[in-house]
Amino acid sequence: MDIFIMYLKVFLTGGIICSIGQILIDKTKLTPARILVIFVTLGTILTAIGIYGPIVEFGGAGATVPISGFGYCLANGVIKEVDAIGFLGIFIGGVKATAAGIASAVVFGFLASLIAKPSIK
Amino acid sequence: MNSNVNMSNQEYSDFVDSKAKKSNLGKNIFMAFLVGGIICSIGQVISDIAMHYGVQKQDATCITTIVLIFLGAFLTAINLYAKIGKVAGAGSIVPITGFSNSIVSPAIEFKTEGYILGLGANMFKVAGPVLVYGITTSVIVGFVYWIIKLFM
Amino acid sequence: MKLGKQSIKFENTPKLLNTSSIVGPKEMQGPLAMYFEAHTDDIFFGEKSFEKAESKLMKTCINNLLSKVPTDNSNIDYIFAGDLLNQCISSGYCIRDLNIPFFGLYGACSTFCESLMLASLFVDAGYATKTVAATSSHFCSAERQFRMPLEHGNQMSSTAQCTVTGSGAAIVVPKDISIQSPYITCITPGKIVDMGITDIANMGAAMAPAAFNTIATHLTDTSRRADYYDAIITGDLGTLGSEVLVDLFKKEGVDISSNHYDCGAMIYDIEKQDVKCGGSGCGCMASVFSSYFFEQLKTKKMNKVLIVATGALMSPLACQQGETIPSIAHAVAIENEV
């Protein structure tokens, strides 16, 4: 039963975050690229001021899988690194925490595009 | 006959808006909610499996990200992600798989202009701004945090 | 002879001798499939890139056209052609191999009428005896240049239109050629009209005022009524743009709802093919006029038509700089009797 409730929370949190994106697209005619930028920036800021953390506690992957979770990683990473090594941490922390995501995106992106051919949806 | 449209630009814009068929917001939100929820649940499953095998929570998050990015890239490469996106909208744009899709899609398309200037240069055409603004914001956050720490 | 403000009435009424059309797979699933002369099931058309495919579409179309009239390349005096791609590469690379003097034109989706106007002007003035007008567009090359990558998982806006994969070509000759064929009687080159629309996913609305302006000017200049024509055919206003155009005329007390046709709204099955407001692109009017409407003229089901190709003269760059969408429409009157 616990696991069911946990997955329900994940589903709800992820679903709601994506729905907010959809409302923005349909109501404001923002392009997907802008939506992604808004979400990642908001994710970073909300984490820094302590709002996104509790959402991640509640929703787990529902809050970390959306691109705002990328911002959550960036903010947490930079705060942790500043705590650990001080000033230099400002420049190291964010990218260090998200390095796996960035590197895998570049590599898988590269490999995928090598094998794929464009086609109509 | 008067050949100019007898309306101000604002009036014309309102007139067009009144004629335009609205997209079905309810259905779009429902689909975004459903697909977004499913993708996040898949992420949770991956993370739970990793932790089940004794991986630390922090590393499990990393593994989840890598696997989801792989899935996004793979589905894009087999021409499936665009089909999902047509139905799901933000439901497949906002999750990290959408980030992966926005990197792979221009890369595939610009391959015809060569591997360096085509594929390489255009890979971050759509997703580049996410890194620019995400990383910049994180540096600002780090800087502010560092200053606050100095005085506390 | 100049008529009124901006129209020209041809004194020697050149003939539209023949036309040719070619489309891609999606257009062949639409309601006009039986009228198109040629088609390809492969969006790459056997080429390595979409731009090359588009070029080949136009080339195939022109070659088909020339094979239908008893002539060869060396007898064509001039060719007027254009497309949507930067530097008009589809036309340029297509005509590179044809060995015909070439005028490259850009009028966005209005190019078909622009090239047909110039082709008939040359013939009317006696500077040429055989001229060809051709345009093309390709869904994938246009998406790439104007919108998002094909594989990107985004949704089309409800007002968006889908670029037609296709090409159309027409050959214009002097009227003394004995083969029976419709005449080009009158043209009205359009002015640029901009009503401040900025949404590039709503081209129909941006172009409707330009179509209105050109048609209204044409009717005034020629002292004709809208019902003089069996059909007033707009290029690619789509369903929304067409509705707006009919309404704009209604406001002036003219009802064109019964004889107005829009190629963009006709080429696809709007409901079944999920194309939102219909088709667009240089290839839209070119392929639909060259097939369906030319057939109607030939079989005398229609005798007087006014074709009005509409174009949105923006670029992604200008739009990103915050510019609005300037639009243009050119009208060509084609009649079976002079």
Q: Which CATH number do you get for residue C296?
A: 3.40.47.40
Q: Per the domain annotation, does C254 fall within a domain?
A: yes
Q: Per the domain annotation, does C2 fall within a domain?
A: no
Residue ending a domain, choose from C151, C173, C195 = C173
**Total count of domains within chain C:** 2
High-pLDDT (> 90) share of chain A, %: 69
Name residues whose C-beta falls within 8 Å of residue C51's C-beta, 6 or more positions apart in sequence: C85, C89, C90, C93, C138, C141
- Mean pLDDT in chain C? 92
Q: Which residues of B touch A20 (CB under 8 A)?
A: 90
Is the pLDDT higher at C74 or at A101? A101
pLDDT of residue A121: 53
Shared domain check, C202 and C104: no
Residues C274, C277, C281, C282, CA torsion sign: positive
Q: Per the domain annotation, does C178 fall within a domain?
A: no
Shared domain check, C164 and C16: yes
Q: Is A56 on the interface with B (CB under 8 A)?
A: no
pLDDT in tens, C202-244: 899 999 999 999 999 999 999 999 999 999 999 999 999 999 9
Tell me what the mean pLDDT of segment A58-82 comes to. Answer: 92
Beta-sheet pairing, C279-280 with C102-105: unpaired
CB-nearest partner of A118 from C26, C148, C151: C151
Q: Is B68's pLDDT higher than 70?
A: yes
Shared domain check, C327 and C279: yes
> Where do we find the tokens 């001798």?
C17
Contact between B5 and C213 using a beta-carbon 8 Å cutoff? yes
Shared domain check, C264 and C137: no
Helices then strands, counting H and E runs in chain C, come out as 11, 15
Q: Per the domain annotation, does C7 fall within a domain?
A: no
Q: Which chains touch C (3 or more CB pairs under 8 A)?
A: A, B
Shared domain check, C169 and C296: no
Q: Which residues of C touch A115 (CB under 8 A)?
A: none
pLDDT band at B5, cuts 50/70/90?
confident
Shared domain check, C128 and C34: yes
Shared domain check, C220 and C120: no
Q: Per the domain annotation, does C250 fall within a domain?
A: yes
Q: Per the domain annotation, does C321 fall within a domain?
A: yes
Shared domain check, C107 and C20: yes
Tell me what the mean pLDDT of segment C188-194 comes to. Answer: 94
Nearest chain B CA: its distance from C133 CA (Å): 28
Shared domain check, C147 and C33: yes
Q: What is the number of CB-based contacts under 8 A between chain B and chain C?
A: 108
pLDDT of residue C298: 93
Q: Per the domain annotation, does C124 fall within a domain?
A: yes
pLDDT band at C338, cuts 50/70/90?
confident
pLDDT of residue A1: 67
Question: Which residue in A102, A110, A113, A121 has the most chain B C-beta atoms within 10 A of its own C-beta, making it the best mutation to test that interface?
Answer: A113
Residue ending a domain, choose from C153, C173, C193 = C173
Shared domain check, C16 and C139: yes
Q: Give the pTM.
A: 0.92
Residue ending a domain, choose from C139, C155, C173 = C173
Shared domain check, C111 and C189: no
Name residues whose C-beta falls within 8 Å of residue B48's C-beta, 6 or more positions apart in sequence: none
DSSP 8-state code for residue C299: T
Closest-CA residue of chain A to C149: A118
Shared domain check, C99 and C17: yes
pLDDT of residue C111: 94
Instruction: Look up residue A97 and give its two tokens.
Output: 């925490």
Q: In this predicted complex, what is the ipTM? A: 0.91
pLDDT in tens, C128-147: 999 999 999 999 999 989 88
C28: domain range?
A: 12-173
